[in-house]
């Protein structure tokens, strides 16, 4: 048999029906649901008199609108509250394999709770009305974001209409240096191929660096595949994947576990499999990264200076750079480490897992945030992450450093709840998008790793985490 | 879904790369549980001088005179002309909902982000990819000729300029058929319900642990 890529294996194992032109019906194993992109889908289903095809595929939670403090007061914003209550009533009516509502101890960001509960398993197709569904590709899943019409389509038919993507292998060879993390790998890849570099592709992340990353690290890289334009990114199964999944609430048990593991071990690209495109990075060359502009591709190593649009030849790109610098309140050729910050956000589906919090805590331990930093939010990805962090005493380290230890949720990654930047405020953020207004109208976002965010909180400006470690 | 066959419409230019879905419809408006009414908040942060929140009377808000779509000459536009990687970012279908509600039925760009591109087709909005040279030319023509319209002919897959110049565009044949007929995807898929059931039973037997 011809050598297959992981993508081809995952794709062909889910084709229900295929037309002559390649348009296929793809079966969906897991449907993650949150409050923002589902209400219109539930309503559409009801209006058409349709029943959900398989409710046991649904895992739901409320994460985007939920507050991260004063849970005893409930959700203050009536519009947010209505959206969360709409999810409550829709799930009550329709059912689900699991629902982790607001205040539930296992509630959290949908892309954190899926894996930590073993609801994301290798070989699955995983979809959600959320572009960061690519995160689940860390488990060798075909996982991607969909719009609300497709949310309704999956509810009604358990399938999606799709065509095969092109394949790209991003290989990160060698080893990462001290203080360089999965987030820096993700940003370095985006810096290399651009935010549209992966458009039309399914990206497999491979190489020694990816193999050495924990599942948390792999999730961070796959999470940001969409920031490189690729709807999905994934990593082959290995012992690290299998060890992570053993014993999780929805992981298989007993004979099923053995049977599943035997299958999962086949979920890798075969020797000699051909990709449509290959990108190679050296781990040793990746430095801690900081974005300077309003697109994740506007990124430089921490030791660099803010780029100069005058050196850009393409007029549309040059204008884009100038506009970004103006929005960000920066001037060309400024050293990145001289940029002072007002706020820090440690959290989001990119960087809110236990390992992320540990990386930040290593920097925060025994230190204190700089006086010019008004607020440092630490928002764990889920109730379970929060509990574990507290068992490890990380919350105390953060609080002693002047950071705020919050309840889980999406929080200031997109500022749908009360956590947001004010106009002109500058933030070192572990989230995934530095778009204009993303963290609040007029807010200025610099994307960094959790360790770099903590280092910036301590220094009051961007600082090379390697000088602190 | 609204059918799309041909459109002869006023063109509005948005001369930027990487227009993201947060710019198209900011997050505070995603709290709505409806599918409609997003048009007045399309491009909210660029379009208005104040900070928009749900429930505001948008007709009373101060417009940003420097935002291109606020210029009188582009009022009533139904074709949006833009650059590379339009619609990047989140999967929010509120983005095409907002553009459609604003009045756009066709978007011409050098390239689109995948999820946004896909979402357009579910809403009767046609995303058209044209070569950079054609897009450059259109930007020039639109700027220099107030009231500039073009015709989008979906059956023949042509964008026709008033000067007679016509450019072919590619579109997936299945998606084209759905647009021309205004078909509902779910109805089409459910014609294969027996196949889906059979597939599901096979999968359940082979991989029971995915059905726990």
pLDDT digits (tens, 9 = 90+) for B156-209: 999 999 999 999 999 999 999 999 999 989 999 999 999 999 999 999 999 999
Query: A182: number of CA atoms within 13 Å, CB side?
Result: 30
Residue B13 predicted with pLDDT over 90: yes
Q: Does B119 contact A at CB distance below 8 Å?
A: yes
Is B174 close to A124, i.e. CB distance below 8 A?
A: no
Q: Could you count the other beta carbons within 10 Å of the beta carbon of residue A296?
A: 27
A377/chain B closest Cα distance in angstroms: 20
pLDDT in tens, B63-121: 999 999 999 999 999 999 999 999 999 999 999 999 999 999 999 999 999 999 999 99
Query: Looking at chain B, which residue has its C-alpha nearest residue A327?
Result: B46
Residues A292/A307, Cβ–Cβ less than 8 Å: yes
Q: Would you call A196 and B16 a contact, using CB atoms and an 8 Å cutoff?
A: no
Residue B189 forms contact with A (CB below 8 Å) = yes
pLDDT of residue A459: 98
**Structure tokens that stand for B32 in this block:** 């709505």
ipTM score of the complex? 0.97
Are A260 and B209 an interchain contact pair (Cβ–Cβ within 8 Å)?
Answer: yes
Q: Do B209 and A256 touch (CB under 8 A)?
A: yes
Closest chain A CA to residue B21: A435
Q: In the predicted model, is pLDDT for residue A1 greater than 90?
A: no
How much of chain B, in percent, has pLDDT values that exceed 90?
Answer: 98
Interchain pair B54, A79: CB under 8 A: yes
Q: Rg of chain A's alpha carbons, rounded to an integer?
A: 21
Which tokens belong to A461? 């400006």
| Paired tokens of A20 | 């002559």
> A246 and chain B: CB distance < 8 Å anywhere?
no
Inter-chain residue contact B111 with A196, CB threshold 8 Å: yes
Q: Is the pTM of this model over 0.95?
A: yes
Provide the shortest C-alpha distance from residue A303 to chain B (in Å): 26
Cα distances from A77 to residues A62, A254, A452, B60, B86, in angstroms, run 15, 46, 33, 23, 32
pLDDT tens column, A363-413: 999 999 999 999 999 999 999 999 999 999 999 999 999 999 999 999 999
B 87-106 residues with CB < 8 A to A:
88-93, 96
| Contact status, residue A108 vs residue A385, Cβ threshold 8 Å | yes
For residue A157, the surrounding DSSP H or E stretch is helix A148-157
How does pLDDT run across B42-71, given as a tens digit for each residue?
999 999 999 999 999 999 999 999 999 999
Helix (H) or strand (E) segment spanning residue A282: strand A277-282
Q: Which pLDDT tens digit goes with each residue over A31-71? A: 999 999 999 999 999 999 999 999 999 999 999 999 999 99
C-alpha pair distances (Å), B79 with each of B14, B69, B104, B126, B172: 11, 12, 5, 10, 20
* SS3 (DSSP) at B88: strand
Query: What residues in B contact A119, CB-CB < 8 Å?
Result: none
Looking up tokens 């939670």 gives A61
Q: State how far the Cα of A1 lies from the Cα of B186, in Å rounded to an integer.
A: 35
- Among B23, B93, B200, beta carbon nearest to A436: B23
For residue A431, the SS3 value is coil
Cβ contact A124–B34 (<8 Å): no
CB contacts of B189 in chain A (<8 Å) are 25, 153, 156-157, 159, 161
Q: What pLDDT is recorded for position A451?
A: 98
């Amino acid at each position: 048999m011809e050598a297959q890529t992981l993508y081809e294996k995952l794709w062909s194992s889910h084709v229900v029906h295929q037309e002559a032109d390649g348009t296929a019906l793809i079966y969906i194993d897991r449907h993650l649901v949150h409050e923002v992109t589902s209400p219109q889908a539930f309503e559409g289903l009801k209006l058409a008199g349709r029943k959900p095809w398989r409710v046991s595929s649904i895992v739901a939670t409320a994460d985007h609108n939920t507050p991260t403090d004063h849970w005893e007061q409930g959700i203050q914003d009536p519009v947010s509250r209505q959206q969360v209550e709409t999810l409550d009533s829709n799930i009550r009516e329709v059912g689900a394999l699991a629902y982790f509502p607001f205040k539930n101890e296992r509630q959290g960001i949908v892309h954190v709770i899926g894996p930590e509960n073993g609801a994301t398993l290798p070989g699955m197709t995983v979809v959600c009305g959320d572009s960061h569904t690519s995160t689940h590709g860390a488990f060798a899943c075909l996982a991607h974001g969909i719009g609300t019409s497709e949310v309704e389509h999956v509810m009604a038919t358990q399938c999606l209409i799709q065509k095969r993507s092109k394949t790209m292998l991003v290989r990160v060879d060698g080893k990462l240096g001290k203080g360089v993390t999965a987030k820096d790998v993700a940003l370095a890849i985006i810096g290399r191929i651009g935010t549209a570099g992966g458009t039309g592709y399914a990206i497999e992340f491979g190489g020694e660096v990816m193999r050495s990353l924990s599942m948390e690290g792999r999730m961070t890289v796959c999470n940001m595949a969409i920031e490189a334009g690729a709807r999905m990114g994934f990593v082959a199964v290995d012992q690290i994947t299998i060890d992570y999944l053993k014993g999780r609430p929805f992981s298989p048990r007993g004979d099923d576990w053995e049977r599943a593991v035997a299958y999962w071990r086949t979920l890798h690209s075969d020797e000699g499999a051909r990709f449509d495109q290959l990108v190679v990075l050296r781990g040793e060359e990746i430095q801690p990264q900081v974005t300077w502009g309003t697109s994740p591709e506007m990124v430089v190593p921490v030791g660099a200076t803010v780029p100069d649009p005058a050196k850009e030849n393409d007029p549309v790109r040059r204008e884009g750079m100038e506009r970004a610098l103006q929005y960000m309140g920066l001037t060309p050729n400024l050293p990145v480490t001289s940029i002072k910050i007002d706020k820090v956000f440690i959290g989001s589906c990119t960087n809110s897992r236990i390992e992320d919090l540990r990386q930040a805590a290593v920097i925060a331990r025994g230190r204190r945030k700089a006086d010019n930093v008004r607020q440092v939010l630490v928002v764990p990805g889920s109730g379970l992450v929060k509990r574990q962090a507290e068992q490890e005493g990380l919350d105390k380290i953060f609080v002693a450093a002047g950071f705020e230890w919050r309840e889980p949720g999406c929080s200031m990654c997109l500022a749908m709840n009360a956590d947001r930047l004010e106009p002109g405020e500058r933030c070192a953020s572990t989230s995934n998008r530095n778009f204009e207004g993303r963290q609040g109208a007029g807010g200025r976002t610099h994307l960094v790793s959790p360790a770099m965010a903590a280092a910036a909180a301590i220094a009051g400006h961007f600082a090379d985490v390697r000088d602190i470690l | 879904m609204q059918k799309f066959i041909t459109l002869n419409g006023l063109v509005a230019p948005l001369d930027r790369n990487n227009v993201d879905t947060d710019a198209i419809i900011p997050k505070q408006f995603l709290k709505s549980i409806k599918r409609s009414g997003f048009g007045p908040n399309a491009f909210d942060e660029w379009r208005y001088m104040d900070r928009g929140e749900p429930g505001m009377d948008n007709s009373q808000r101060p417009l940003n005179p420097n935002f291109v779509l606020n210029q009188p000459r582009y009022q009533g536009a139904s074709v949006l002309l833009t650059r590379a990687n339009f619609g990047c970012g989140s999967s929010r279908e509120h983005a095409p909902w907002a553009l459609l509600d604003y009045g756009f039925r066709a978007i011409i760009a050098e390239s689109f982000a995948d999820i946004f591109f896909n979402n357009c087709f579910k809403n009767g909005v046609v995303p058209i990819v044209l070569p950079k040279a054609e897009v450059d030319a259109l930007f020039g023509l639109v700027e220099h000729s107030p009231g500039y319209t073009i015709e989008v002919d979906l059956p023949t897959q042509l964008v026709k300029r008033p000067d007679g110049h016509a450019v072919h565009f590619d579109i997936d044949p299945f998606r084209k058929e759905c647009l021309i007929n205004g078909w509902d995807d779910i109805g089409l898929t459910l014609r294969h319900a027996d196949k889906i059931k059979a597939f599901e039973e096979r999968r359940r037997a082979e991989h029971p642990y995915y059905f726990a």
